[in-house]
Amino acid sequence: MPELPEVETIARGLDPLLSGRRITGLAVLDRLVFPGDPETFRELFVGRVVTRVYRRAKLCLVEVEGGGIIAFHLKMTGRLFVTRPGERPEPHLRVLLELEDGRALHFIDTRRFGSCRGFAPGAIESWDFYRRLGPEPLCMSAQDFRSALAGRGGRIKALLLNQEVVAGIGNIYADEALFAAGIRPDARAVDIPPTRLDTLFAAVQDVLCRAIESGGSTIRDYRTAEGVEGSFQWTFQVYGRGGQPCVACGRTLRVEKVAGRTSTFCAACQSLTPGT
């Protein structure tokens, strides 16, 4: 599933292509990925000029004049890209936004796990999923991070994946950040002292920023708005490397289920009860 770096990369790529362009047509081609009313969707957005494209958590948001927002949740196989005039659509096109210059924004989703929603000005704040999102890891302070995690009895990886605690982090970057911080994914947050939480916070921000600089990670389906694969996967330290040697100590990386997710770590380099 595209995580924060992938969605951030897509939003940054779409913003200069869409901002300042008027939406001239909308087509919902698959109601499974669009839970709302298509006619209301068109009334809200056709004729409106896009003002910006940005990210919140793992959502790609297209805002138009007046404050209406189209929210795309890519889930596992969703893709967003802009086509040239006359360009034939790819298979599995679910939602189409036509632009005044002849181009179009295509929402492609092979497995139909993703979604598209349209919100009138201010209405997105009443969407329960959106309202419950936690703070952004690249915007919060170390103190905010400590406050969000300190004293909790849950496993640290489960908390990092909890979008109500910290928004946007998924399986890939949780594993990578925990390795960089020397903390096992199954360590309890309550056992991690504040200084080590600061170390983890720095690792989270570093990993996310480097992944954004690399255009995200392409494991299978992910592509940028320009159709390019990300390259951060070539620098993975632990994710997807179970059974291989640790890049730091050479011992075999272990794989276990934590929070229902496959988690890879080094039992020698990462501690279950991190000290100060």
- Domain with residue 207: its CATH number is 1.10.8.50
How do the pLDDT tens digits run along the chain, 276 residues long? 799 999 999 999 999 999 999 999 999 999 999 999 999 999 999 999 999 999 999 999 999 999 999 999 999 899 999 998 888 878 899 999 999 999 999 999 999 999 999 999 999 999 999 999 999 999 999 999 999 998 899 999 999 999 999 999 999 999 999 999 999 999 999 999 999 999 999 999 999 999 999 999 998 888 998 889 999 999 999 999 999 999 999 999 999 999 899 999 999 999 998 875
Residue 271 within a domain: no
pLDDT of residue 107: 97
Whether residues 126 and 191 fall in one domain: no
Question: Residue 118 belongs to what domain range?
Answer: 4-131
Whether residues 120 and 147 fall in one domain: no
Last residue of a domain, one of 131, 156, 185: 131
Whether residues 179 and 103 fall in one domain: no
How far is residue 161's CA from residue 193's CA, in Å, rounded to a whole number? 20
Is 178:168 a contact under the CB 8 Å cutoff? Answer: no
Residue 276 within a domain: no
Residue 275 within a domain: no
* Active site positions, annotated: 2-3, 58, 261
Residue 66 within a domain: yes
Whether residues 147 and 125 fall in one domain: no
Whether residues 91 and 32 fall in one domain: yes
pLDDT of residue 276: 56
Whether residues 160 and 100 fall in one domain: no
Whether residues 75 and 50 fall in one domain: yes
**CATH code: domain of residue 63:** 3.20.190.10
Whether residues 94 and 186 fall in one domain: no
Whether residues 150 and 250 fall in one domain: yes
Last residue of a domain, one of 96, 131, 166: 131
Q: What six digits make up the tokens of 29?
A: 């081609």
Residue 28 within a domain: yes
Domain total in the chain: 2
pLDDT of residue 275: 75
pLDDT of residue 88: 81
Whether residues 18 and 116 fall in one domain: yes
The string of DSSP codes covering the chain is ---HHHHHHHHHHHHHHHTTPBEEEEEE--GGG--S-HHHHHHHHTTPBEEEEEEETTEEEEEETTS-EEEEE-TTTEEEEEEPTTPPPPTTEEEEEEETTS-EEEEEESS---EEEEE-TTGGGG-HHHHT----TTTS-HHHHHHHHTT--SBHHHHHH-TTTSSS--HHHHHHHHHHHTB-TTSBGGGS-HHHHHHHHHHHHHHHHHHHHTT---SSS---TTSPPP-GGGG-SSTT-TTSBPTTT-PBPEEEEETTEEEEE-TTTSBSS---
pTM of the model: 0.95
Residue 158 within a domain: yes
Whether residues 91 and 150 fall in one domain: no
